[in-house]
Amino acid sequence: MAVARTVVVKAVNAGLWSLQRSRSRSLQQAQTVRALSAIMSPPSKAVVYEHHGPPDSVTRLIELSPVEVKENQVCVKMLASPINPSDINRIEGVYPVRPQVPAVGGYEGVGEVYSVGSAVTGLSAGDLVIPSPPSSGTWQTYVVKDQDMWHKISKDSPIEYAATVTVNPLTALRMLEDFVTLNSGDSIVQNGATSIVGQCVIQLARFRGIHSINIIRDRAGSDEVKERLKALGADEVFTESQLEVKNVKGLLSNIPEPTLGFNCIGGNAASLVLKFLRQGGTMVTYGGMSKKPITVSTSLFIFKDLSLRGFWLQKWLSADKAKECRDMVDYLLCLAQEGKLKYEMELVPFDNFRTALDKALGKLGSQPKQVIKF
């Protein structure tokens, strides 16, 4: 009996071992099948920086290996992405919010869906999408992000406007709506009028029947710049030197004193905006291109009761505004598609990134917004 029991036990153990080995082999085969069937992105060419510093010194163009497109992710073939001042500041390490290094440059752009994960709904290959809210890493040929990061837009959207719609036009729209109630017939004043934000402010204000007073730098060709801005809808355009008078309001013809001003430069250019504002007016600062402080006279605060505010789009976007942001992006793209919103840009092939970067850094004088085309 003992011998028979031993034989039975050995037989059972042998069967269990065989079953375990069979299950292990099946599991390995299943894992192999899953690995072979995993969706992978193509190799990607990207502009990366491994530490902060001057963008023309620390960035380099490299090839990135394919990455897995997980079940809730979307792989997008990028079509275009701009070089914004904030992109440069992130690379320099001076922007308040920036990705950890090493990082891929870029923050906004437009692309075409290349492939989607198994659990993705609402997006399919060929759809035109933008990262919304914008996120780092758009200076590369293929980007893989969760489906919630992508916003599907009309295929009729002009590519260069789709690539640039979020950071600058949206800033212009929010500043016109968030600080002072403006009615048709009111006026605003701004410096940096030739910037994309400035050009958008002029046009969006005009749609609402709001007058715009615009300040530009003294430079060669300023008369041509004035005409271009007036063609967009600017009511008045002054160079800084024209405003070196005691009473700037005497330069206005049938335009009420502005209640709202926008400053993206600082220094004397900011003071000129303040000189125009009426009693109780507000100046909103959204940039500091001159890297000079804003100086306000005591009398302006006491006798005119002026207010100084700041606007940072990234903070606004982080306040659970994704749905509102996408609705406004669609509105702005509709205007661009209809030719009602336009601004100067230069599309540059990705292989010429270095030249585009030099232009964005101001090495080659005043240049249009540089937009990389992949």
pLDDT the model gives residue 13: 47
Q: Report yes or no: 326 and 302 within 8 Å, Cβ to Cβ.
A: no
Six-digit token pair at 307?
């207010």
d(Cα 237, Cα 226) in Å, to the nearest integer? Answer: 6
What backbone torsions phi and psi does residue 356 show, to the nearest 5 degrees? -60, -40
d(Cα 113, Cα 99) in Å, to the nearest integer? Answer: 24
Smallest CA-to-CA distance from 341 within 199, 224, 160, 170 is with 199
Please give the chain's pLDDT, 374 residues, in tens: 444 444 444 443 444 345 345 445 544 544 444 444 689 999 999 999 999 999 999 999 999 999 999 999 999 999 999 999 999 999 999 999 899 999 999 999 999 999 999 999 999 999 999 999 999 999 999 999 999 999 999 999 999 999 999 999 999 999 999 999 999 999 999 999 999 999 999 999 999 999 999 999 998 899 999 999 999 999 999 999 999 988 898 898 889 999 999 999 999 999 999 999 999 999 999 999 898 999 988 888 889 999 999 999 988 987 678 889 999 999 999 999 999 999 999 999 999 999 999 999 999 988 999 999 99
Say whether 95 is catalytic.
yes
Q: Report yes or no: 344 and 169 within 8 Å, Cβ to Cβ.
A: no
pLDDT the model gives residue 323: 87
DSSP conformational letter for 367:
-
- Beta-carbon contacts of 115 under 8 Å, excluding residues fewer than 6 positions away, are 39, 41, 69, 74, 75, 125
Sorted by where each starts, the structural domains of the chain and their CATH numbers stand as 4-163+345-373 (3.90.180.10), 168-314 (3.40.50.720)
Q: Rg (Cα) of the chain, in Å, rounded?
A: 28
Residue of 95, 107, 161, 331 marked catalytic: 95
Q: 22-39: b or e for each residue (b if 16 or more CB lie within 10 Å)? A: eeeeeeeeeeeeeeeeeb
pLDDT the model gives residue 246: 83
d(Cα 313, Cα 132) in Å, to the nearest integer? Answer: 13
d(Cα 109, Cα 113) in Å, to the nearest integer? Answer: 13
Catalogue the E-assigned strands of 2-66: 44-49, 59-64
pLDDT the model gives residue 319: 64
pLDDT the model gives residue 234: 98
